[in-house]
Chains A and B, each alone.
Chain A
Amino acid sequence: MIETRNFRILRNVVLSILALWVAIPLYVVASTSMKPLKDVSGLFQWLPREITLAPYFDIWTTVPLGKYFQNSLIITVSATACSVTVAVLAAYAVARLQFKGKRVFSLTVLSTQMFPGILFLLPLYLIFTQIRNITGIQLQGSYPGLIITYMTFTLPFAIWMLSGYFASIPKELEEASMIDGTGRMGALFRVVLPVAKPGIIAVAVYSFISAWGEVLFASVLTNEATKTLSLGLKSYASESDVFWNQLMAASVVVSLPVLIGFILVQKHLVAGLSAGAVK
């Protein structure tokens, strides 16, 4: 819009309010994470009386945070890697090749992506129970079980986003490569994938972020040994006490990887998200 004086005043007011609204909870987390426990239990203090980094050291011993980290990493990275690998192949076919059933396939991917996890959790829980009864393989509470359920939301998202990226790459690149005799697959691996690398990384980071924040499946399908961060953080609250300062310090620590990842790829995300507006 045109920058009249009124516009600038209005802009400053509106943006300040928005920034404050975003900042307050973040400030509360950051400041609380650096207070000693005695200053956290009383009335909330906007200015810390005493600043300490002790909570950042204590979080690792109060609860097995390292173990939760490891569980979240294994599950999230595996689900992301499997989804992206499968999705690259499927998305390329959707973006570039003609085949019967393509529309049905695209429609299935698109619609399943809109369904909430709760619709898949109930039946998957029962299927896992049955598999245990028949084969003795315990999927509940196991890494593979969780990875499979996490793929219910990372896979359709990855296929949809990647087909948008592939479609935006000029076809001439592959055609040149195929004239040189590489064939379709050669063109995909030698030409398309390197060009689409930023997009693929953005999709991977985004799948990682959504899997990292997952709560629903984890709440039913994890056990003590496979508990993820999303549930593990609850352990800072015992029956009598909540270690709010440590809970906040742990929140900062678990957020940093995804926050950094998001900031690094946000430019590519905007383009991809506009394609299908998916989460």
Chain B
Amino acid sequence: MSHSAIQNSPANAAETATMPAPEQSGKGPELPARKPRRSFLPYGLIMPAVILEVLIHIGPMILGVWIAFISLNQLNLTNWLNAPFVGLQNFVNGLNPESTIGQAFFSTVGRTMLYTVTVVGFSWILGMAGAVFLSSNFKGRAILRTFFLVPYALPAYVGTIAWAFMFNQRDGAVNQILVDTLHLFGDERPFWLLGGNSFGAMIMVNIWQLWPFAFLMLMAALQNVPNDVYEAAAIDGATLWQQFRTITLPMVQPANGVLLLVMSLWTFNQFNIPFVLFGAASPKEATLVSPLIYQNSFGSWNFGLGGAMSVLLLIALFIASIFYIRMVLPKGGDND
């Protein structure tokens, strides 16, 4: 039964996992490799991965929590084992809503949430539109399908560089269209990478890069919808919108949970786009959580503060990943 814990589709896994486990009783005896129940083989196989997981994930994560409780700055950075323990001081400094640092932190968390909801929402809508209209057959469909995936396949920094060039204030392509062609802002040429506009510009870039992923996943989910269901609905007089709402949407529902959660986590953790668009320090109107921790740690070398913020992020992501794991790895899927 254990092998079915991980399947090709989450829906599939859920289905198999709820079935009663038929311990391989019938065909077991004649297979020599099955007999030794207490085999060391599995442990031998996972050993390299376990060692690496401990070295690069678990160890650093524990150290990361420790950092949050010590006073670490540029002076004692190279000798951090002897850095003084300060208890909750970093959290008090970082989370005090009265202080500038605390205010910056909370407004950054709120801004990052708004950012995440906007980017994921639009990416999902565009991805859905692409998937619905590309699931019917027509000439040029295969080419268009591959073409839509290009922004996702490009190195993230390349897509961002392209947009940075287009957002150029003086004579970029965006202002060329909006100001010179459409005359939207009168004589003004807005700055897109400074102040409040930078938040919108960053959202734009992120949607451009993320929507193909939604498209890819929804496209895969839609392939399972038999066309005669639509035919039957059309004969009954259902409009296109009704067909979409009553057939398409419910059919992608199983894939949707994981898709939305994964896209939200990626977007919430976004670092590359602001880093390439703005450099190490984002405009304060466009600072997200990951870049804020980066700035505190490697900009002002206040690792303790960066560590405290990391711990909070870790707790939040832990909760989110529990939901994620529930969706992709249903309980009872193995014998542990």
A residues contacting B by CB (< 8 A) are 1-4, 6-7, 10-11, 14-15, 18-19, 21-26, 28-29, 32, 42-44, 46, 86-87, 89-90, 92-112, 114-124, 126-127, 129-130, 133, 148-149, 151-152, 155-156, 159-160, 163-164, 167-168, 171, 175, 178-179, 183-185, 187, 209, 212-213, 215-216, 219-220, 229-230, 233, 244, 247-248, 251, 254-255, 258-259, 262-263, 266, 270-271, 273-279
Contact = CB atoms under 8 A, between A and B. Distances in A.
Interface string B160-187: 0111011010011100100010000000
Interface of B: 2-10, 30-33, 39, 41-43, 45-46, 48-50, 52-53, 55-61, 63-64, 67, 77-81, 126, 129-130, 132-136, 138, 144, 146-151, 153-159, 161-163, 165-166, 168, 171-173, 176, 180, 208, 212, 216-217, 219-221, 230-231, 233-234, 240, 243-244, 248, 255, 258-259, 262, 265-266, 269, 271-272, 275-276, 280, 290, 293-294, 297-298, 303, 306-307, 310, 313-314, 317-318, 320-321, 324-325, 328-329, 333-336
B217 A120 contact: no
Contact of A184 (B41, B77, B221): B41
B8 A270 contact: no
A19 B126 CA distance: 11
Contact of B162 (A29, A98, A168): A29
Contact of B63 (A100, A126, A148, A263): A126
A266 B146 contact: yes
A116 B313 contact: yes
A245 to B, nearest CB: 10
A159 B165 CA distance: 38
A200 B48 CA distance: 18
Contact of B329 (A14, A107, A130): A107
Given A90-B46, A167-B6, A120 B61 contact: yes
A28 B161 CA distance: 11
Contacts of A103: 5, 333-334, 336
A69 to B, nearest CB: 13
Given A11-B133, A233-B161, A101 B336 contact: yes
Contacts of B240: 1, 4, 6-7, 10
Given A126-B80, A213-B155, A258-B155, A277 B258 contact: yes
A277 B173 contact: no
Contacts of A108: 53, 57-58
User: Which of B41, B144, B243, B275 has the most CB atoms of chain A within a 10 A radius of its CB?
Assistant: B41
Given A90-B46, A94-B6, A266-B146, A119 B64 contact: yes
Contact of A215 (B41, B49, B269, B272): B272
A262 B153 contact: yes
B236 to A, nearest CB: 11
A26 B150 contact: yes
7 contacts: A24-B166, A94-B6, A107-B325, A114-B320, A116-B290, A164-B7, A259-B154
Contacts of A106: 5-6, 329, 334
A265 to B, nearest CB: 10
Nearest to B168: A44
Given A7-B240, A18-B148, A110-B321, A212 B80 contact: no
A156 B54 CA distance: 12
B153 A209 contact: yes
A43 B240 CA distance: 44
User: Which of A44, A127, A266 has the most CB atoms of chain B within a 10 A radius of its CB?
Assistant: A44
Contacts of A1: 132, 135-136, 230, 240, 243-244, 248
A268 B81 CA distance: 47
B165 A155 contact: no
A28 to B, nearest CB: 5
A14 B136 CA distance: 14
Contacts of A171: 3
B49 A87 contact: yes
Contacts of B132: 1
Given A1-B230, A11-B136, A178-B32, A18 B130 contact: yes
B56 A213 contact: no
B244 A123 contact: no
B244 A251 contact: no
Contact of A179 (B30, B48, B53, B329): B30
Given A7-B240, A102-B336, A279 B275 contact: no
Contact of A233 (B41, B157, B212, B248): B157
Contacts of B154: 213, 255, 258-259
Nearest to B207: A21
B220 A270 contact: yes
Contacts of A117: 269, 271
